[in-house]
Structure 1
Amino acid sequence: MSRFTNRLVKEKSPYLLVDWFPWGEEAFEKARRENKPIFLSVGYSTCHWCHVMEHESFENESVASVMNEYYVNVKVDREENPGVDKLYMTYIQLTSGTGGWPMSVFLTPELNPFFGASYFPPEDQHGRPGFKTLLARIHSLWKTDPQKIKASGESMTNQLKSYIQTKPVSDKKELNPIEVADETYDHFVNSFDSVYGGFGPAPKFPTPVQLQFLIDYYMYNRQNTNKSAHAQKALDMALFTLKKIAAGGIHDHIGSGFHRYSTDKKWHIPHFEKMLYDQAQLLSLYSSAYQITGETLFANVIQDIICYVSRDLQHTAGGFYSAEDADSLPTRDSNKKLEGAFCVWEEYELIRILDPLDAHVFSVHYGCRKQGNVDPTQDPQKELVNKNVLMETGSIEDTAKTANMTPTEVIRILNSSKSKLWDYRSRVRPKPHRDEKILTSWNGLMITGLVHAYEALQDRQVLQLAINAAEFIYRELYNPTTHTVLRSYCQGPSDIEGFIDDYSDLIQALLDLYEATFDERWIQWAYELQEKQNDLFYDTESGGYFNVTKHDKTILVRMKEEQDGAEPSANSVSLRNLVRLASLLELPEYSSKAQSTVNAFKLSLSKFPFAIPALVAAFMLVSNGLKEIVLAGDPTDSRMREFEKIVSRVFLPNKLVALATGHGFIAQHNSIIRQIGEQKRNVKEPTAYICENFTCGLPVYDVEKLKQRLTSDLQ
C-alpha cells in the first residue's frame, strides 16, 4: 500500500486510480514552483505492459519514494487524452525510432520533453539502464544544471514544432483521384497474403480502413471496362481476408467478438484484448460484405459482434464501454493473471463439458489437440502450454466428411457445444477486467457500425441499440447550449473536452442515424456539431483539422493527422461528413472546406496514399460525387417501408438517402427537398428520385423498378 496521497482517486478513468497527478495545471504549477522535472507516464486500462511496469516499478515503495521526492509524476490515459499521447508519442518515435505503451517521458516544468521511451524494466538489463538507474541519473543531471536541460527541452520542442508545421513543397499539379486510388490499390495487391489473407507478415491486425478502401474501390470501378478486373481483385482480397479473420483464433468462437490482433500470419494466436473500435469497424465491414454478396457467413458474423457488444460492453443506459483486458485469472483460486486464460481450452475440459462424440467433432472442426495447438514460438511467456486456441481448420463439409456425418448434424453439434462452453466459461472462469470508459469517438464508430448492421439485416432491435447509444451521448456528454462534447464518461462525465475524433466520429454516426430513421433531430445535431468542430479545430490558413482545440494551451504543438491507425483519421471522416452535409443542407462553404481539406494533404495523397487509405476513400467520394436517393410520400405507409428496405439493403459508398418533407430542418436548407416535399404533401404513394451531378432522374413509383435501378448499379 502506497503511503503517498492519491491525487487521482477522483479521476474517472480506471487506469488513473493511482497515487499520481492528473494532467493539468496543479501538476504544472508544482513543477514550476519546486523546479522539478515532470515524469509523464501514458498508457491505457487494458495495456499489458502498462500493468507490468506499474507492478514492477510504480508499486515498489523505494521507487515511489524517489519519484515523489524528485519528480512531479503525471499519469495520462491515452484514450481519454489522445492530444497528449499523440504529441509526445511523435517525440518518442522521432528520437528513438520506436513507440509503444506505456510511454515514459521526462518533461521540463514548461512541458518540453527532454528524454523518453516506452517500457523500462526496473533493473539494468543487457547494458541498458533500468528505471531505477534512469531516475537517479536524470535527477543528478537536473540537480547539476537544470537550465541546460530546460534549454535542451525547449530546443527539442522547437524542432518538433518545425517538423510538424513545416509545409513540404509539392508540385502544383492537380491531384488525379484515379491515379491516387490506383496507386493505393497496387500497394495492397503487392502486400496481400494470398494464403491467409491480410497484408504483410505477422503480427497481423484486421486493418478495417484498408479493407474498407478495397470494398469502396471495387464499387467505384466495377462498371469500368478497363478496371473491372482490378475491381474484382480488390473485392476478392477484402472478402477473403474477412473470411480468414472470421475463421481464425482472432475471432472468439465461444464468447463472440474479435480480439485485437494476431501474433502469427494465420490469424491463429491473438493478443486477447478486445477493443470497441475493432468491433465497430468490423461490424461495418461485414455488413458491407453481406450487402454485396448475400453470403450467410457474413450475416452470422454481424450477429456475433452484436451479441458480444450488447452483452459485454454495453452500459445499462445505452453507451458502450471501451475494452476488455487480455489477461485474467485462470481460476477463482488463482493469484496470477495469464493472457487468454478466459478463452483457451485444454482437451480434458472439452471432454468433461461435452459428451465424447461432440468433443471429437468440435476438436476436429476447431483444431484442438491433447498437447494443445499453440506453436511454442507464439507463447514466449509459456502461458498457453497444452492450451487450444479455437480456429476453424476447414469448412463444415470438411468436418462432416471427417466425422462421417451430414453437415446439418455437424452444425447442430457445434452450436450446442459452443452454447455449453460459453455457459461454463462465463459461469466458472473469472472474467477479464473491463475498461468502463465510454468514449465519445468510439461510441460514434459503434453507432455507425450498428446502423450499417441494421441496413444489412433489417433488424429494428439493432437500430434501437444505435439510437440508445446516441441518446446516451446527448444526455451525458453533450452541452446543447455550447454545442460542445466531452471526451469520456466513467461513473459520470469527465471534465476533458472532446478532441477532433469525438466530433468527426459522432457527426458521422448522426448522419448515418438520420439515413436509417429519417429523424431530423440527428441531422440538426450533426450540423450543430460540425459548426462547432469548424470553429474549434479547422485550419483557416491551410485547410484540414487540428487534433486539439485552439483553446488547449497545455499542448505545445497542434498536430494535424491524416494517417490511419487502428481507427480512420479524423480528417478522412471529416471530409466525408463535409461532403454529405454540404449536399443535404445545401452548404457551399462546406464543399469549399472539403476541397481545402483535400488540398491540405495533397503531398501525402500523392507520395504515400497507401498509408492513408481512409482519406483516399474519402477523396474517391469527393471525386465521384454522391448518389442521392430522395424518398417522398407518407412515411407511415407500408409501401414506403418497402421502398426504405430496398434503399437500405444496397451498399453504395457514395449513397445519401433523405426523406422529402415540405417543412423541417432539412427543408429549411435544401430547396429541392422542400419542393419535392411540398409537391408530395398530400400524396401517400411512395416515390423515389435518384439524383447525381445536381440532376434528378425521373420519379420511380414501383418498388421493383427501384430495386432494378439500384441493383443495376451493382452489376
Structure 2
Amino acid sequence: MTDATASNRLAETTSPYLQQHATNPVDWWPWCEEALDLAREQDKPILLSIGYSACHWCHVMAHESFEDPDTAAVMNRLFVNIKVDREERPDLDRIYQTAHQLLARRPGGWPLTVFLTPEDQKPFFAGTYFPKAQRHGLPAFTQLLASIERAYREQGDAIRQQNDSLMEALASLEPEADAAVPDTGPLEGARRQLAAGFDAERGGFGSAPKFPHPTNLELLLRHWAATAADGNPDEQALHMARFTLERMVRGGMNDQLAGGFCRYSVDDHWMIPHFEKMLYDNGPLLALCCDAWQITGERVFRDAAAATADWAMAEMQSPEGGYYSSLDADSEGEEGRFYVWDKDEIAALLEPDELAFMTPVFGLDRPPNFEGRWHLHQYCTPEEVAAAQGLDAAGAGALLASAKAKLLAARAKRVRPDRDDKVLTSWNALMIKGMARAARTLDRPDLLDSADRALDFIHTRLWHEGRLLATYKDGKAHLNAYLDDHALLLDALLELLQVRWRRTDLDWAVALAEVLLAQFFDAEQGAFFFTAADHEALISRPKPLGDESIPSGNGVAAHALQRLGHLLGEPRYLEAAAATLRFAAEPMRRVPYAHATLLAALDEYHTPPETIVIRAEPPALGSWQAAAQQGYQPRRLVLAIPSTAPSLPGNLGAMAPGETGGLAYRCRGTHCEPPVTSLAALTGA
C-alpha cells in the first residue's frame, strides 16, 4: 500500500483504535486466519502491534513511524503486519505481554511491539515503543526491523530453541494447586504489605507513578469492617484507605470540574494525571467512594461519587444504553490540553469573590503545575478556605458551584479529546456495579435507571443463544467473551439484585454461572481459564489470578459464585470457588496484596456472607430493605423479593412470604435462622 489516503483493512473493523490506523501506508491486517495464513505462505515473520485508542505513546509511535511512507515500506516488505486493540483482544494482549516480560526481563506496556514466527505465532523478540530515529538508548525503528528480519532468516535454530524455552517458561508460571484452601493468613499478609508501602504523607502505596488500585483500598475497608465487627477496629487500615481515596478525590487525577477519574498520577502528590479517562477505573472508584461515604459520612466522598456517576451518564453512556470505553488523553495533539488553564483566562471568567475563593483552593497563587499552566488540584479544602475567609458553608458552596459552572461552560467550547465509543461487556459490568451501589447508597433512582439501561443493552445486543459476546460498536457485536466478561457481569447482577428485584436478572446470573463452569473452569486443577473451551486456539491458555487494571476474573468468579452458591444452595458453585482458592493458594501467600479480589473470596470462604431475604409487599418491602442495608456491610447480601414473586429457584423457594405480613430470612453459609416478622426484630431495635 503506497497511497497514504487509501484505507487499509482496518477500516472495516469495529475498533476505534484500529480505525485510527486505517489510512496508514502500512499494509495492516487485523488478527485473523487470513493474515496468519499469509505469513505462513510467504514465510514472513509477523509484526504484531498492540495498543488502544487512549494510549498517548501509541499515538506517538503511529505518527512517527506508521504514518511515515518510508517506514511503512520497510514494514510491508519484510513483515506481515497485524494491529490489535488490546481492549477487544485482551487474550492476545495478556499472552504477549507476559512473553515480553520473559523475553525482555522488564515490564511491558503499550504500544507493545512483538515479532512472531509465522508457522506458530510464537514471539522471538518483543519491545514497546520504538522511536523513528535512534534516541534514549533505543534503536531507530527501521534499523530494528532490518535486524529482526535478518535474525529470523539467519538464526532459525536459535529462535526455535528460544521459543521452546519460552513455552516452558509460560507453562511454569501456573502454580501447583494446594490440597486445601489457605487459612486467613494471606489476609493479614496483604494488610502488612500495604502498610509497609503506604505513603503516610501523600496517600497511596509506593512512589510515582501512582495508580488507584481500588481493589486494595476495598480490601482495607473490608478488613476494617471485619475487625470492627469483632470489637477491635483496625483504624490504621481505615485511615490508609480513606486518606488515599481522599487524596485522589481532591487531586488532579479527579476532574475537579466535571467528575470522572483519570488513569493514574505521574507524581507522588496525585496532582498531574495521565489524562486518559477509562471506564474500568471509574466504575470501581464510584463504588469505593460510596463505601467511604457510608463509613465516614464525609461529604467529599458523596460528592465525588455523585460527580463520577453524573459524568458517566453525561459523557460515557450511549443513546442505546451501553457505556463507552474511554476518553483520550490528548486533544489538538497535546496531552491534557482540554483540562489545563491559564490563570488570566480563569480571572477573566470569574467574579472577584469567586476568584478569591478559587485561588487558594486550587493553588492559582502558586507556580504553574503543568507545562506553564494550571491543572486544577485542591491544595486546600473548600472548608479550610471558607473558614479562613469567614464564609459559612452555604456561601462557600455557592461560590464554588458558580465558579465551576463558568469554567465548565468555557471548557465545553474547547476541542474535546476523542472518545472510544465501543462498548465492552466487562467494563460495562464494572460501571453497572458502581452505578447500582451509588443508586442504593445515594438514593438516586436515576442511577439505577442508567445501570438498568446498560444491563438491558448487554442482554439485548451481547447475549446471543446462551453465550456472551465481548464488544459492540456501530450495530455489530462480536468476539467470544472472556472470563472477565462473565465473572464481572455475574457480580454486577448480584449488586443490582440488592437494589431491586428482577427475576430475569437472577435467571441470567445462573446462566452465566453455568457458562463459567462449562466453558472456563478447569475441573482437574481448579480455577478458570481466561478463554472459553471453544475459543480460538492460541499459544497459551492462561488462568490469571492477580488484580491488574481491572479486578482478577478468577477472584471475581470465586467471590460471585460463592455468594450465588450460598443464596441458592448450589454446591457446584461453592466447590468451583473453593477449587479456585486452592489453585491460587501459593500466589496468595507469596504476594497477597496483588490478589486482593481473591482475598475477598477467601475471606467469605472462611466467614460466609450473611444473606437476608425479605418477602413483603410495598411499602414494607422498601423500608425493610433500607433498614437491612444501613451502614457499610461488605459481608452482607440483601434481597427484597415481593411476596407475589412465584416459584423461586433453589433455597429461595423455601423462603415463602408470610400470610399476614412481611418475613425476613437471615442465613449465614448453610445455617438459617427462623424468619422474623417485624422490622424491629430484623434490625434488633
TM-score for the superposition, normalised by structure 2: 0.95
Query: Structure 1 residue 93: deviation in Å?
Result: 0.9
- The question of whether the paired residues in 2 share the 8 Å contact of 1:15 and 1:44 is answered with yes
Distance 1:666 1:538, change over 3 A: farther
CA distance in 1, matches of 2:595, 2:187: 11
- The question of whether the paired residues in 1 share the 8 Å contact of 2:625 and 2:639 is answered with no
Residue 151 of structure 2 is aligned to residue 141 of structure 1: yes
- The question of whether the paired residues in 2 share the 8 Å contact of 1:112 and 1:156 is answered with no
Distance 1:405 1:592, change over 3 A: closer
SS state at 2:92 partner: helix
Amino acid at match of 1:163: S
After superposing the two structures, state which structure 1 stretch, 40-49 or 194-203, moved more: 194-203
Residue 152 of structure 2 is aligned to residue 176 of structure 1: no
Amino acid at match of 1:59: E
- The question of whether the paired residues in 2 share the 8 Å contact of 1:112 and 1:150 is answered with no
Amino acid at match of 2:168: Q
Q: Deviations over 1:149-195 (max 9, x none)?
A: 66246424422433234x4486x676211x22111111111211122
Amino acid at match of 1:55: H
CA distance in 2, matches of 1:665, 1:555: 45
- The question of whether the paired residues in 2 share the 8 Å contact of 1:396 and 1:410 is answered with yes
Residue 420 of structure 2 is aligned to residue 435 of structure 1: yes
Query: Structure 1 residue 45: deviation in Å?
Result: 0.5
Query: Structure 1 residue 579: deviation in Å?
Result: 0.6
Match of 1:193 in 2: 199
Query: Structure 1 residue 339: deviation in Å?
Result: 1.3
CA distance in 2, matches of 1:51, 1:159: 34
Residue 67 of structure 2 is aligned to residue 59 of structure 1: yes
After superposing the two structures, state which structure 1 stretch, 487-496 or 436-445, moved more: 487-496
Query: Structure 1 residue 404: deviation in Å?
Result: 4.2
Amino acid at match of 1:586: G
Amino acid at match of 1:288: D
- The question of whether the paired residues in 2 share the 8 Å contact of 1:626 and 1:656 is answered with yes
Query: Structure 1 residue 59: deviation in Å?
Result: 0.6
Q: 1:473 pairs with 438, 441, 458, which one?
A: 458
CA distance in 2, matches of 1:143, 1:173: 50
Where do 5+ consecutive residues of structure 1 fail to align? 330-336, 375-383, 710-715
Where do 5+ consecutive residues of structure 2 fail to align? 23-27
After superposing the two structures, state which structure 1 stretch, 557-566 or 188-197, moved more: 188-197
Q: Deviations over 1:23-48 (max 9, x none)?
A: 11011000011111100000000000
Query: Structure 1 residue 95: deviation in Å?
Result: 1.7
CA distance in 2, matches of 1:695, 1:660: 20
- The question of whether the paired residues in 1 share the 8 Å contact of 2:611 and 2:668 is answered with yes
Amino acid at match of 1:23: W
Residue 17 of structure 2 is aligned to residue 21 of structure 1: no
Distance 1:325 1:474, change over 3 A: same
- The question of whether the paired residues in 2 share the 8 Å contact of 1:114 and 1:156 is answered with no
Matches within 5 A, 1:610-649: 610-634=593-617, 637-649=618-630
- The question of whether the paired residues in 2 share the 8 Å contact of 1:280 and 1:445 is answered with yes
Distance 1:218 1:588, change over 3 A: same
CA distance in 1, matches of 2:523, 2:167: 22
Residue 286 of structure 2 is aligned to residue 283 of structure 1: yes
Match of 2:121 in 1: 111
Match of 2:25 in 1: none
Q: Deviations over 1:218-257 (max 9, x none)?
A: 11221325xx24x222112111111111111111111211
Match of 1:32 in 2: 40
CA distance in 1, matches of 2:641, 2:421: 40
Q: 2:409 pairs with 423, 435, 447, which one?
A: 423
CA distance in 1, matches of 2:346, 2:290: 33
Q: Deviations over 1:71-120 (max 9, x none)?
A: 11001100100000000100111121121100000001120111011000
- The question of whether the paired residues in 2 share the 8 Å contact of 1:477 and 1:493 is answered with no
Match of 2:383 in 1: 397
Query: Structure 1 residue 662: deviation in Å?
Result: 7.9
- The question of whether the paired residues in 1 share the 8 Å contact of 2:625 and 2:640 is answered with no
Distance 1:173 1:8, change over 3 A: closer
Amino acid at match of 1:73: N
- The question of whether the paired residues in 2 share the 8 Å contact of 1:12 and 1:492 is answered with no
CA distance in 2, matches of 1:366, 1:124: 40
Percent of aligned pairs with the same amino acid? 34
CA distance in 2, matches of 1:87, 1:693: 37
After superposing the two structures, state which structure 1 stretch, 688-697 or 531-540, moved more: 688-697
Residue 518 of structure 2 is aligned to residue 535 of structure 1: yes
Amino acid at match of 1:633: A
SS state at 1:518 partner: coil
Match of 1:355 in 2: 351
SS state at 1:656 partner: strand
Residue 673 of structure 2 is aligned to residue 697 of structure 1: yes
Amino acid at match of 1:316: P
Q: 1:204 pairs with 192, 204, 210, which one?
A: 210
- The question of whether the paired residues in 1 share the 8 Å contact of 2:302 and 2:442 is answered with yes
CA distance in 2, matches of 1:627, 1:396: 40
Match of 1:151 in 2: 160
Query: Structure 1 residue 311: deviation in Å?
Result: 0.5
Residue 667 of structure 2 is aligned to residue 688 of structure 1: no
SS state at 1:211 partner: helix
Match of 1:332 in 2: none
Residue 457 of structure 2 is aligned to residue 461 of structure 1: no
Query: Structure 1 residue 494: deviation in Å?
Result: 3.8
CA distance in 2, matches of 1:653, 1:46: 33
SS state at 2:224 partner: helix
SS state at 2:11 partner: coil
Distance 1:689 1:101, change over 3 A: same
Match of 2:540 in 1: 557
CA distance in 2, matches of 1:14, 1:611: 31
Q: 2:12 pairs with 10, 13, 31, which one?
A: 10
Amino acid at match of 2:218: Q
Q: 2:398 pairs with 396, 409, 412, which one?
A: 412
SS state at 1:122 partner: coil
Residue 355 of structure 2 is aligned to residue 346 of structure 1: no
Residue 515 of structure 2 is aligned to residue 509 of structure 1: no
SS state at 1:100 partner: coil
Distance 1:493 1:320, change over 3 A: same
SS state at 1:159 partner: helix
SS state at 1:9 partner: helix
CA distance in 1, matches of 2:111, 2:242: 35
Distance 1:199 1:25, change over 3 A: same
- The question of whether the paired residues in 2 share the 8 Å contact of 1:142 and 1:149 is answered with no
Distance 1:664 1:25, change over 3 A: farther
Matches within 5 A, 1:89-128: 89-96=97-104, 97-109=106-118, 110-125=120-135, 128=138
SS state at 1:612 partner: helix
Query: Structure 1 residue 505: deviation in Å?
Result: 0.6
SS state at 1:631 partner: strand
CA distance in 1, matches of 2:434, 2:664: 26
Number of matched residues? 675
CA distance in 2, matches of 1:132, 1:526: 51
Query: Structure 1 residue 703: deviation in Å?
Result: 2.9
CA distance in 2, matches of 1:604, 1:665: 44
Residue 132 of structure 2 is aligned to residue 129 of structure 1: no
Root-mean-square deviation (CA, aligned residues, Å) is: 2.0
CA distance in 1, matches of 2:649, 2:383: 58
Distance 1:686 1:499, change over 3 A: same
Distance 1:498 1:505, change over 3 A: same
Distance 1:302 1:699, change over 3 A: same
Query: Structure 1 residue 647: deviation in Å?
Result: 2.4
CA distance in 1, matches of 2:39, 2:173: 27
Match of 1:547 in 2: 530
TM-score for the superposition, normalised by structure 1: 0.91
- The question of whether the paired residues in 2 share the 8 Å contact of 1:660 and 1:674 is answered with no
Amino acid at match of 1:667: L
- The question of whether the paired residues in 1 share the 8 Å contact of 2:566 and 2:669 is answered with no
Amino acid at match of 2:437: H
CA distance in 2, matches of 1:99, 1:460: 42
Match of 1:233 in 2: 236
SS state at 1:198 partner: coil
